Each structure stands twice: as structure tokens, then as C-alpha cells.
């Protein structure tokens, strides 16, 4: 009888241990895999080894832990698919390499083909951009390609060499509680750049940088942006679009409760005046509850975008912009024009709605702002300061 009882207990213990092993949570510390937090040693091999074990853990979730300290990290690609929820927890500081990329891959830390990924931890990504700005090519800080059902939150990214965060062909991702900073004059340091992605949420993010705070590119839809502070920078942009024939429509973008401080632009849609072989569409864009402080170009649609001013023979843009709504927009402008709609002569903007707009000059009553509309169709409602041209 006693022997049978011992046998039953042993079987139960084996079952419990097996369940915990295959369904539990496990931590993978990069230091246990050889990482050295001296700010000089390349830790890419140790990080990749820890990632391989965490990604292939049979339990329901794994956490790759990067403890406090400063870790030098050369270019790495963390590839899935993984077997369960995988967390990449950055508690310390990661330093980017300052040597130039040696391949066409221009992302410093890249996640690919991962479902159910968390990137968090309260740590910092130090791009060391000041040491390489002005050189080409340089690294974008962190990229997500073919990543789904994932979250990026509670991180800082400073002095990126190029773009801070990029997304490509990704779905159902949330970016929250982030601080992205680079000097006002740092080149091409966009905060977040989104392409060929959908179901993206960006909220509670502070962005002070040298280019677009957020840029929404070709084949992107269902994006919700809220509670973003942008400044300095070039604002939140849809585009640029319409330069290449392989581009796809952009639609269903919501930008709400955002603040722009000292930016070059506020809310911008930009398309090239290029001879596309097909019509590209930008539609259902909503801007609501927006505040400007000392913004040069608060509201702008520019369908003659040409940043280098050497575009050769420009033709009317073949990007059709429609169903764009501006509601409860207010704040100060340091330029002369509050609203500028320079739409395509070939495909005029359609159904532009302006509701309760109040933009004033930083010079007070001494300077009266104006609005400019060209090939723009729509309607205005409620308060319109300055007087609407729609």
C-alpha cells in the first residue's frame, strides 16, 4: 500500500513539473549568456543566444532580461516565429555602433516574423547619433518587420542616428509611454515611421526630434494616434506619397488629442507631383482636439512636395485626397498662413471638413493670419479663425 502511494505521488510530481515546464514563465538573463555591461564589449552574440533560448521556450511566455548597466551592441536581427509570448525587457542602456552599416540592412535592432512580442523595461536606446550625423549610411534604431499582436512601451530612445522606430508589414501593434529625443537640427531622425502596416496604436508618446514626429507611409491603414507631444520636429505627416508606382492607398487614420510645440509643421499631408501610372488614394483622415504652440505651418496639404527643390518637370499629383476632417483645432502660429491646402490640379481634394478652427499669430493682434486654398473642395462649420477658404 505504501509503495503504491509513493508511486502515485511520484507520478503527480512528474505531471506538475512537466506542466510548469511546458506552460510556465521563464526568465533568460543576457548576463548568463556572456553579456558584459562595460559599454565597450560587443554583446551581440550573447543577446542572440539568449533570444534563441527565450524564443524557443516551450512555456506560455518567456522574458529576456537586460539588467541595469550599459551594453554595447552591434547590429542584430531577432527572428521568430517564437513558441509563446516573448518579452524583450530592457532595463539598462543599449549603445549603438558608430561604424557604418556593411550591408543593405540599415536597422540597428530588428525584430522579424514575431507574434506576441513585448518590448519594454524602462531602459534606454542610445543611438550615439552625434558621432555619425552627416555621414551616410547610418542606422535606424529599432525596426519591426512582419511583427503582429505586439507591444512596445516604457522605453527611451535618444540621439538616434536616423529614424527611432520603424514598422513594415506589421499588424496590431501598440506603442505607448515612449520618449524619443534628438536635437532639432539632427538629420532624418523621424520618431516613428509606419509603412505597409495596419491596426497600429500610438499613445502617450513624447517626441522631440529633427524630422517628422510620426510619418505614415504607403499601404498603411487603421492607425490611431492619441496623446502625443510633438516638438521640436516636423509634425505628424501622412506621406510623403506618390513618388513611386508601387505605392498603395493610405486610409482610416485618426489623430486626436495631440500637442505640437515649436514644430515646423503640425498636421501635414504631403504628396509628390510625379507622373504615376495609377491613381493613389488617401482617405478618411481625422484630426481632432489638436493644440499648437508656436508652430510655423499648423495645417498643411502639399501636393507639390519637393524637399530638394530639384524635381525637374513637375506634373499634377495623381494622389486623390478625400474625406479629411479637422475638428476642434486651436493654438498659435509663428508663420503667416494658418491653413494651406495646395491640392492637385488634376485630382482636387474632396470633402475636406473644417469644424471649430481657431489659430492665432504669436504676434497677437499685430499680425492677422490668412488661409490658402487651391483645388480644395469641402465645407466649414462653427468658429473659423482665420476665415476659412473652404
Instruction: Give the Cα separation of 169 and 144 in Å (integer).
Output: 8
Report the percentage of the chain scoring pLDDT > 90.
87
Residue 308's pLDDT is what?
Answer: 73
pTM for the predicted model, two decimal places:
0.93
Encode pLDDT of 348-377 as tens digits: 999 999 999 999 999 887 678 999 999 999
CB-based contacts of 348, cutoff 8 Å, min separation 6: 375, 376, 377
Residue 1's pLDDT is what?
Answer: 45
Mean pLDDT computed over every residue of the chain: 94
Cα 7 to chain centroid distance, Å, stands at: 57
Q: What is the mean pLDDT of residues 135-147?
A: 98
Is the omega angle on the peptide bond into residue 240 within 30 degrees of 0, that is, cis? yes
Confidence of residue 307 (pLDDT cuts 50, 70, 90): confident
Active-site positions?
234
Q: Is residue 13's pLDDT more than 70?
A: no
Encode pLDDT of 377-387 as tens digits: 999 999 999 99
Q: Is residue 140's pLDDT more than 60?
A: yes
Q: What is the mean pLDDT of residues 56-68?
A: 98
Residue 17's pLDDT is what?
Answer: 35
Give the chain's domains with CATH numbers.
231-390 (2.160.20.10)
Q: Mapping DSSP to helix (H, G, I), strand (E, B) and coil, where does residue 316 land?
A: coil
Q: What is the mean pLDDT of residues 294-321?
A: 89
- Looking at 244-348, which runs of residues are DSSP E strands? 250-261, 265-272, 280-295, 297-305, 319-333, 337-342
Encode pLDDT of 282-291 as tens digits: 999 999 999 9
* Radius of gyration for the chain, computed over Cα atoms and rounded to the nearest angstrom: 24
Q: What is the mean pLDDT of residues 164-188?
A: 99
Q: Is residue 20's pLDDT more than 90?
A: no
Confidence of residue 207 (pLDDT cuts 50, 70, 90): very high
Q: What is the mean pLDDT of residues 140-159?
A: 99
Q: Is residue 120's pLDDT more than 50?
A: yes
Amino acid at each position: 500500500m505504501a509503495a503504491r502511494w509513493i508511486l502515485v505521488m511520484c507520478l503527480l510530481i512528474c505531471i506538475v513539473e512537466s506542466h510548469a515546464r511546458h506552460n510556465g514563465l521563464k526568465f533568460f538573463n543576457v548576463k548568463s549568456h556572456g553579456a558584459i555591461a562595460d559599454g565597450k564589449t560587443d554583446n551581440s552574440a550573447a543577446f542572440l543566444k539568449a533570444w534563441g533560448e527565450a524564443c524557443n521556450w516551450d512555456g506560455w511566455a518567456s522574458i529576456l532580461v537586460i539588467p541595469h548597466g550599459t551594453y554595447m551592441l552591434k547590429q542584430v536581427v531577432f527572428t521568430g516565429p517564437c513558441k509563446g509570448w516573448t518579452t524583450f525587457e530592457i532595463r539598462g542602456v543599449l549603445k549603438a555602433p558608430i561604424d557604418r552599416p556593411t550591408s543593405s540592412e540599415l536597422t540597428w535592432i530588428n525584430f522579424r516574423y514575431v507574434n506576441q512580442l513585448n518590448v519594454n523595461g524602462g531602459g534606454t536606446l542610445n543611438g550615439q547619433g552625434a558621432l555619425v550625423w552627416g555621414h551616410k549610411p547610418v542606422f535606424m534604431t529599432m525596426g519591426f518587420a512582419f511583427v503582429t499582436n505586439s507591444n512596445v512601451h516604457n522605453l527611451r530612445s535618444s540621439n538616434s542616428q536616423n529614424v527611432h522606430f520603424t514598422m513594415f508589414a506589421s499588424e496590431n501593434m501598440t506603442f505607448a509611454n515612449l520618449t524619443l529625443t534628438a536635437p532639432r537640427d539632427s538629420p532624418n531622425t523621424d520618431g516613428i515611421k509606419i509603412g505597409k502596416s495596419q491596426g497600429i496604436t500610438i499613445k502617450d508618446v513624447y517626441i522631440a526630434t529633427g524630422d517628422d514626429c510620426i510619418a505614415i507611409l504607403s499601404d498603411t491603414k487603421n492607425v490611431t494616434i492619441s496623446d502625443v507631444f510633438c516638438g521640436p520636429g516636423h509634425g505628424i505627416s501622412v506621406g510623403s506619397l506618390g513618388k513611386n508606382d508601387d505605392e498603395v492607398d493610405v486610409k482610416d487614420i485618426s489623430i486626436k488629442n495631440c500637442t505640437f510645440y515649436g514644430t515646423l509643421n503640425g498636421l501635414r499631408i504631403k504628396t509628390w507631383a510625379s507622373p504615376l501610372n495609377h491613381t493613389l488614394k488617401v482617405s478618411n483622415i481625422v484630426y481632432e482636439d489638436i493644440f499648437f504652440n508656436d508652430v510655423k505651418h499648423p495645417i498643411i496639404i502639399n501636393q507639390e512636395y519637393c524637399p530638394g527643390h530639384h524635381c525637374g518637370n513637375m506634373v499634377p499629383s495623381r494622389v486623390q485626397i478625400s474625406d479629411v476632417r479637422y475638428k476642434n483645432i486651436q493654438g498659435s502660429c509663428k508663420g503667416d498662413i494658418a491653413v494651406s491646402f495646395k491640392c492637385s490640379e488634376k485630382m482636387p481634394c474632396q470633402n475636406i471638413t473644417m469644424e471649430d478652427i481657431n489659430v492665432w499669430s504669436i504676434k497677437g493682434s499685430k499680425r492677422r493670419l490668412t488661409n490658402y486654398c487651391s483645388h480644395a473642395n469641402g465645407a466649414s462649420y462653427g468658429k473659423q479663425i482665420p476665415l476659412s477658404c473652404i
